Amino acid sequence: MRGIILKGIGSFYTVLCDDGESYICKARGKFRIDGKTPLPGDYVEFEPSGEMEGYMRDILPRKNAFLRPAVANVDQLVIVMAASAPKPDLLLTDKLLLDCERRGVSPLLVLNKCDERDTELVNDIISQYQPTGYRTIEVSAHGGEGLDELKRALFSKVSCFTGQSAVGKSSLLNALLPELDLPVGGLSRKVERGKHTTRHAELWPVYGGAVVDTPGFSLLESDELAPEELPSFYPEMKEHNDCYFTACLHMSEPDCAVKRALEEGKISRGRYERYCELVKELIEKRKHRYD
């Protein structure tokens, strides 16, 4: 039989079968030998054994996998920001968008807390991401605004909610699906953040797909990336690619199409400046690679 792993505790996994039933499956020792660890989101083959139980036989090929928290086959990253407080950290947003591009995951930008919308802040964020073509939706977990649109964007996809702490990821999921009853915190939970709380990803099957709540800025991966690769992960830069140099980093090179687009206001200056920061960061990292 086939199914998708919703969660794992020790070597026991909850597998939702195609027939709609859940089975508790044990991963056989063979997985350890093959170096394969089943993850939530994995499609697996299992052999039923007794009442709603089974043995996992194989993990089907993965589309992608994230490590913190561990989850496989993600279709969509829902990047939640607050339209009020906490102040959005757009460098982190850009890094998450970069991960999406690299892993073939579609991003969805969500501005929550629109019931207390800081109009200037919201307009600024929208104008910064408009040239990227990424979809942005404005919502309010408390007021209900935009929740239907958000719901529609989740249909038949595995969507992971990520974003700074206290932006309202869990609140949004609770607003859409009250039965989840996820813990919701306050802005003053910073003290708790130092504590190492292990949290495992869990898929909640819904809307013909599934949603995953994650704490804080999870799913941000920091594996090696060559600075030269960076421009190809910025959709608005790819659009302006007739630079003099084919391997243009769009920084100090002459006759640069991206710089021209920037002057013409076709690319956001804020996002461009954060891009430059990232390029410099990656160059530094490369310098110290063998330290």
Ligand X SMILES: Nc1nc2c(ncn2[C@@H]2O[C@H](COP(=O)(O)OP(=O)(O)OP(=O)(O)O)[C@@H](O)[C@H]2O)c(=O)[nH]1
Q: Does 85 bind ligand X (CB under 6 A)?
A: no
The entry of Mg ion, ligand X, Zn ion, none near residue 142 (CB within 5 to 8 angstroms by kind) is ligand X
Other C-beta atoms closer than 10 Å to the C-beta of 248 total 20
Whose CB is nearest to ligand X?
168
Q: Does 201 bind ligand X (CB under 6 A)?
A: no
Whose CB is nearest to Mg ion?
170
Q: How far is CA 134 from the centre of its chain?
A: 13
Give the one residue of 81, 98, 167, 248 binding ligand X; rule: CB under 6 A: 167
Q: Does 258 bind Zn ion (CB under 5 A)?
A: yes
Q: Does 162 bind ligand X (CB under 6 A)?
A: no
Measured from the CB atom, the residue of 128 and 164 that comes closer to Mg ion is 164
Q: How many helices (H) and strands (E) does the chain have?
A: 9, 13
Of the candidates 71, 56, 61, 62, which has an alpha carbon nearest to the alpha carbon of residue 3? 56
For the segment 86-125, give every residue that binds ligand X (CB under 6 A): 112-113, 115-116
Asked whether 46 and 90 are in contact (CB, 8 A), the reply is no
Q: Does 170 bind Mg ion (CB under 5 A)?
A: yes
Q: Does 250 bind Zn ion (CB under 5 A)?
A: yes
The angle at the Cα of 195, spanning 37 to 169, to the nearest 5 degrees, equals 70
Measured from the CB atom, the residue of 48 and 215 that comes closer to ligand X is 215
Q: Does 165 bind ligand X (CB under 6 A)?
A: yes
For the segment 204-243, give every residue that binds Zn ion (CB under 5 A): 243
Q: Does 256 bind Zn ion (CB under 5 A)?
A: yes
Burial class (CB in 10 A: 0-12, 13-18, 19+), 213: buried
Q: Does 267 bind Zn ion (CB under 5 A)?
A: no
Give Cβ neighbours of residue 35 (< 8 Å, ≥ 6 apart).
none
Give the one residue of 48, 205, 216, 227 binding ligand X; rule: CB under 6 A: 216
Residue 82 forms beta bridges with which residues?
112
Q: Does 171 bind Mg ion (CB under 5 A)?
A: no
Burial class (CB in 10 A: 0-12, 13-18, 19+), 198: exposed
Give the one residue of 82, 114, 248, 262 binding Zn ion; rule: CB under 5 A: 248
Rounded to the nearest whole angstrom, what is the least distance from the CB of residue 131 to Zn ion in the complex? Answer: 15
Q: Using the 8-state DSSP alphabet, how is residue 117 labeled? A: -
Q: Does 169 bind Zn ion (CB under 5 A)?
A: no
Q: Does 147 bind ligand X (CB under 6 A)?
A: no
DSSP string, 191-216: HHHTS--------EEETTEEEEE-SS
CB under 6 A: which stretch of 2-10, 138-146, 232-240, 278-286 binds ligand X?
Answer: 138-146
Asked whether 43 and 37 are in contact (CB, 8 A), the reply is no
Rounded to the nearest whole angstrom, what is the least distance from the CB of residue 261 to Zn ion in the complex? Answer: 9
Of the candidates 113, 105, 194, 110, which has an alpha carbon nearest to the alpha carbon of residue 157? 105
Q: Residues in the site for Mg ion, rule: CB under 5 A?
A: 169-170
Which residues lie near ligand X (CB under 6 A)? Answer: 112-113, 115-116, 140-142, 165-171, 184-186, 215-216
